[in-house]
Structure 1
Amino acid sequence: MTTLDRPARMFDRDREWAALSAFATDPRPGATLGVVSGRRRQGKTFLLRALCEAAGGFYFPADEAADRESLNSLGALLGAFTGAPGPIAFDGWHQAIDALLGLSRDRRIPVVIDEFPYLVRANPSLPSIIQNAFAPLRPERDDSRAGLLLCGSAMSFMGRLLSGNAPLRGRAGLELVVPTLDHRLAAEFWGIDDPVTALKTNAVVGGTPAYRHDFARDDTPAGPDDFDPWVVRTVLSPASPLFREARYLLADEPDLHDAALYHSVLAAIASGNAQRGSIASYLGRKSGDLAHPLTVLEGCGMVFREPDVFKENRTTFRIAEPLVTFYHAVMRPIWSDLEYTGDTGRLWERSRQRFVGNVLGPHFEQVCRHWTRHMAPPEVFGDYPNRVGSGTVNDPANRTSYDVDIAVFGLDDDRRPLLAIGEVKWGDVMGLGHLDRLRRIRTLLAAQGRPGAATARLACFSAAGFTGDLTRIAAGDPGVVLLGPADLYLRT
């Protein structure tokens, strides 16, 4: 497999670049089709422009425009690319797509249409036109060496492009989703060495690359003491692009027709209402009324659902984009004051409790779950985790129930043994009381006959540290695991 030289400015994205390089250098005859998607600001355009530059390809950035204007823009760029004396005139998209396929017949080159959903919004038949262009035994396809890449940020639309009975189902040889950077890569990208500061920053802006260079203008927290001033001068400043970004993210999704309803659903989740029933109560609606808006938000990548690992009929909804959580939990309740007052520091002080309880704590839990599933060395939990989630365990004798922040499952033939259960605390020093709670939960799970429960390890995740008694117990008992922020950023 040939790999094109990657740009020196590119941070990480090794997997994505390798996949695009393989697509752009595919030696087989005939035109090929690929789909690239991902939420806005993740670097898709940079990747695709770099690919075209490295492989001598053609790049067309679509605009929100009428169909005729888009065809004219494409014709102008194609004319310049091919050295024609002037713009190329197209009667319609059938002719335009064939012209794109005809750009190369002797070697593979990438041909990129960026923000493809804009074109389809103006001409809904475009996916069918491309389907026909890639029909088997069609000379325009068989004689071509173009690798057509359709790219878009409207996640709901891009997710449907190759699914079910969609026209392009079965036509694409590449389906690449460009994700956000995980917490470790984000800390490296932002140049933050202190794990606690890195976690707090990640809870605000997540792993979106554009937020550092383009939105914050390379203004990063200089250390633990600079985090609060950094929030005030960037995210909470009306002059910063980050200030309104969360609102624009929803506006960019074409499927979110009732913006007020979707903002309210997100506000409910950000306020700690994670189940459908509690979201409905927050909005004063029936639970069944939320099936559609939650499905739409999930389809566009704004929220994701996490099944309860111990109760099949219970689902938790979480916001996927940290900046959206921060906006709804911290900024939206004081929006008018943020826009018109000059005392942003005082407003931030008033909002810090909501930040810790509604943003930082849940985000820390999610980072711990991600680290456990994808980054934990096998010796931490006695095996490689196969599934990690959260759940609820009933205690009938005491007429109560326990929330389990982290449940770790392994894979052993047809069984899925429980490897560990864990509790996550951001601001609490964890001690023997937390360990006793985990022991009680383990006893309940073992009594239910759950495989592996009797020997499951007990994991305490804390950003504030552990008492001396708990530390001494963990030092002599491999079944008790203590993990802090530094462990989540340690590369093994």
Structure 2
Amino acid sequence: MASKPARIFDRVREWQGLAAFVSVPPSAVPGGASLGVVSGRRRQGKSFLLQALAEEMGGLYFAATEATEAESLRLFADALTRHTREVPEHPFRDWNDAIGHLFRSFRGRPLPVVIDEFPFLSRVTSGLPSIIQRELGPGGSGRESDLRLLLCGSAMSVMGGLLAGQAPLRGRAGLELVIRPFRYRDAAEFWGITDPRLAVLVHAIVGGTPAYRHEFTQGDVPADLDDFDSWVVRTVLNPQKPLFREARYLLAEEPDIRDPALYHSVLAAIASGNTTNGGIADYVGRTSDQLTHPLNVLQDCGLVVREPDLFRSGRSRYRIVEPLITFYEAIMRRRWSELEIYRAESVWRSARPAFLSQVAGPHFEALCRDFARDADENLYGDFPSEVGSGVVGDPANRTRIEIDVVVLAAQEPGRPRRVLSLGEAKWGETMNGHHVERLARARDLLAGKGYDTRETVLACYSGSGFTDDLQTAAVENDRLRLISLDSLYGDG
């Protein structure tokens, strides 16, 4: 199995999966050639990773472009000829000829062939997945081939559909790999940021997308917390930088989004804190049923995720997955005309409070849930099975208690669901005993609803610290946890 090149940061599991897929000996694949599908949103380093794989393992990497079928066939034939040094007897008339010739060209040892930006090809030749399926099936040229074919693309709705439902390639793939953004700790290391507070602020804008570190900011990293505001002005709010328009392009690049105005309004609603179906509908000025399709499309594109309320069946909230889109919708879009004429300094001065409350605060909550998912059994008394948020009704006080971080144990037949932890996250507020009292009230209410809360850990997650009284209480109470920024990033 080929070793991962040093130039590739992290991506250890992804590389292992790809290398293992390619390295399976022909004797272990009685059907001949194998198919893998690699997807992920743009700028995540898919092409960089697959190019390195092809180089290390002597395979072929072909990047499709937006072109007619005839031109794409010529480009593909040229790439195949350069790699195999064998000229086809006849020019490819269509993809039937091309795919058949491809499989016949790779016999004897498994080698990867990567077709990147596959949606460009399938959009023009809609029958291409069926052609590949036929050649992989009985009687097809793939039966006598050792090819390891990897189809890659950034159009998530297209790539997700390749193996779904009644799609021709369903059941044919031996690898289905999604390249995701770096997780928050890895992202901080990738950016070279050691200050946890600065790491959260930067991650709240650019997330874990690798391309934003070098290509989109030319290696510009905030030197320290004092430099953060200047960094925002000179990068993401600078019309001369690619990052300035990136959020718009992320939406425009999705082929299933045909009414950008509506989708931007939906995203703006979520970024403004209207995260329920009804709240989004009120903000946009549509009925809830009219937003079913746009919300489904945004989920298929990997831009929005629907997160269930862990305590109220049938209730859920929507969250934007890409931080840069949240930042654009909450901060940039409403002040776009000013930003275009280089008024970033004044815009940022007035928008910074909104950034802290609407962007950094909710983002910190999401990071705390990620932290909880990675916890071992020592933190909450058992391994987390399900992590999310939830709302607990308090009829006596006619209020609702929102729980930012809910950690549940695995469901055991015949037993009440165990609540491992209830947590509250505050980015800009020093936490005190009042926050613990709210969590304790929610714990008692859940016990009355049939949950097992006898060993529930109450957790306070803070970006601004804890009062002395609360720190003393945490020392004396082994069912109370205080999670600081240092804890979040593994330093305390």
Considering the TM-score relative to the shorter chain, is it more than 0.5? yes
1:426-463 superposed Cα distances (whole Å, 9 cap, x missing partner): 00000011111111111111111212x24311100010
Structure 2 residue 432 is matched with structure 1 residue 471: no
8 A contact 2:115–2:150 mirrored in 1: yes
Secondary structure in 1 aligned to 2:306? strand
| 1:139-150 correspondence to structure 2 within 5 Å | 140-150=141-151
Aligned to 2:269: 268
> In the alignment, which of 103, 116, 125 is matched to residue 118 of structure 2?
116
- Are 1:45 and 2:85 an aligned pair? no
> Cα offset for 1:345?
1.3
Q: Give the secondary structure class of the aligned counterpart of 1:63.
A: coil
Find the aligned partners of 1:144 and 1:344 in 2 and give their Cα distance: 57
Give the corresponding residue for 1:377: 376
> Counterpart of 1:460 in 2: which secondary structure?
strand
Question: 1:87–1:405: structure 2 CA closer, same or farther, 3 Å change rule?
Answer: farther
Supply the distance in 1 between the matched residues of 2:90 and 2:261 (Cα, whole angstroms).
44
Name the aligned partner's letter for residue 208 of structure 2: G
Q: Match of 2:22?
A: 24
- Distance in 1 separating the partners of 2:97 and 2:454: 67
Aligned equivalents of 1:125 and 1:491: distance in 2? Answer: 53
CA distance in 1, matches of 2:25, 2:228: 51
Partner of 1:235: 236
SS of structure 2 residue aligned to 1:213: coil
- Tell whether 2:330 aligns with 1:329: yes
Query: What residue is the counterpart of 1:15 in the other structure?
Result: 13
Deviating more after overlay: 381-390 vs 404-413: 404-413
1:96 aligns with 2:95: no
- The answer on whether the counterparts of 1:80 and 1:87 sit within 8 Å (CA) in structure 2 is no
Task: Give the drift of 1:491.
Answer: 6.6
User: Residue 2 of structure 2 aligns to a residue in which SS?
Assistant: coil
**Unaligned residue ranges in structure 2 (runs of 5+):** none
Q: CA deviation at 1:82?
A: 2.1
Q: Deviations over 1:207-255 (max 9, x none)?
A: 0001101111111111111111111111000001100000000111101
Residue correspondence of structure 1 range 396-415 to structure 2 within 5 A = 396-411=395-410, 413-414=412-413, 415=415
The secondary structure found in structure 1 opposite 2:26 is coil
Alpha-carbon distance, 1:84 to partner: 4.0
Distance 2:13 2:473 in 1: 42
Give the match for residue 255 of structure 1. 256
Secondary structure of the corresponding residue to residue 213 of structure 2:
helix
Question: In 2, are the aligned partners of 1:110 and 1:149 still within 8 Å (CA)?
Answer: yes
Q: Which residue is equivalent to 1:71?
A: 73
Q: For residues 175-204 of structure 1, what are the alpha-carbon distances to aligned partners after superposition, in whole Å with 9 as ceiling and x for unaligned?
A: 011111000000000000000000100000
CA distance in 1, matches of 2:345, 2:352: 11
Determine the structure 1 residue equivalent to 2:200. Answer: 199
**Structure 1 alignment gaps of length 5 or more:** none
Task: Indicate how the Cα distance of structure 1 residues 441 and 478 shifts in structure 2: closer, same or farther if over 3 A, else same.
Answer: same
SS at match of 1:301: coil
Deviations 1:42-90 (A, max 9, x none): 1100111011101110111000111111001111112222224699720
Q: Which residue of 1 aligns with 2:436?
A: 435
1:280 is matched with 281
Residues 88/273 of structure 1: CA separation in 2 closer, same or farther (3 Å cut): farther
Offset from partner CA, 1:406-436 (integer Å, 9 cap, x none): 1111126334310110100000000011111
**Distance of aligned partners of 1:279 and 1:141 in 2 relative to their CA distance in 1, 3 Å threshold:** same
- SS for the counterpart of 2:148 is strand
Corresponding letter in the other structure for 1:486: D
Q: Distance in 2 between matches of 1:485 and 1:320?
A: 21
Query: Percent identity over the alignment?
Result: 53
The one-letter amino acid paired with 2:339 is L
8 Å contact 2:26–2:109 — kept in the other structure? no
* Number of positions where the alignment pairs a residue of Structure 1 with one of Structure 2: 486
* Conserved 8 A contact 1:270-1:325: yes
Partner of 2:163: 162
CA separation in 1, counterparts of 2:90 and 2:323? 44
Question: Match of 1:293, as an amino acid?
Answer: P
Deviations 1:301-356 (A, max 9, x none): 0100000000012110000000000000010010010001x331121011111101
Q: Distance in 1 between matches of 2:302 and 2:89?
A: 38
CA distance in structure 2 between the aligned counterparts of 1:274 and 1:59, rounded to whole angstroms = 41
Distance 1:423 1:291, change over 3 A: same
Tell me which residue corresponds to 2:387.
Answer: 388
Rounded to whole Å, the distance in 1 between the matches of 2:419 and 2:338 is 49
Letter of the 2:5 counterpart: P
For residues 286 and 412 of structure 1, do their structure 2 counterparts lie closer, same or farther at Cα, with a shift above 3 Å needed?
Answer: closer
Q: Structure 1 residues 47 and 6 mapped into 2: Cα distance closer, same or farther (>3 Å)?
A: same
Tell me the alpha carbon deviations over residues 103-149 of structure 1, each in whole angstroms, 9 at most, x when there is no partner: 221100001100000001111111111111111243x2122111111
CA distance in 2, matches of 1:79, 1:435: 68
- Aligned partners of 2:151, 2:298: CA distance in 1, in Å? 23
Shift of 1:158: 0.7
Query: What do residues 366-395 of structure 1 show as CA deviations (whole Å, max 9, x unaligned)?
Result: 000011012x23211111111111011111
- Paired with 1:119 and 1:88, the residues of 2 have a C-alpha distance of 21
Q: Cα RMSD between the aligned structures?
A: 1.4
Q: Which residue of 2 aligns with 1:34?
A: 36
Residues 413-422 or 179-188, more deviating: 413-422
Q: Does 153-162 or 413-422 show the bigger shift?
A: 413-422
2:386 is the alignment partner of 1:357: no
**C-alpha distance in structure 1 between counterparts of 2:174 and 2:88, whole Å:** 34
How many Å separate the matches in 1 of 2:98 and 2:465?
62
Is contact 2:137–2:143 with CA below 8 Å preserved after alignment?
no
Q: Secondary structure at the match of 1:214?
A: coil
Do the aligned residues in 2 keep the contact of 1:196 with 1:485 (CA within 8 Å)? Answer: yes
**One-letter amino acid of the counterpart of residue 11, structure 2:** R
Residues in 2 aligned to 1:142 and 1:279: alpha-carbon distance in whole angstroms: 51
CA contact (8 A) 2:184 2:203 kept: yes
Name the SS for the 1:201 alignment partner.
helix
TM-score normalised by length of structure 1: 0.97
Separation in 2, partners of 1:220, 1:212: 8
TM-score with structure 2 setting the length: 0.97
User: Structure 1 counterpart of 2:381, which letter?
Assistant: G
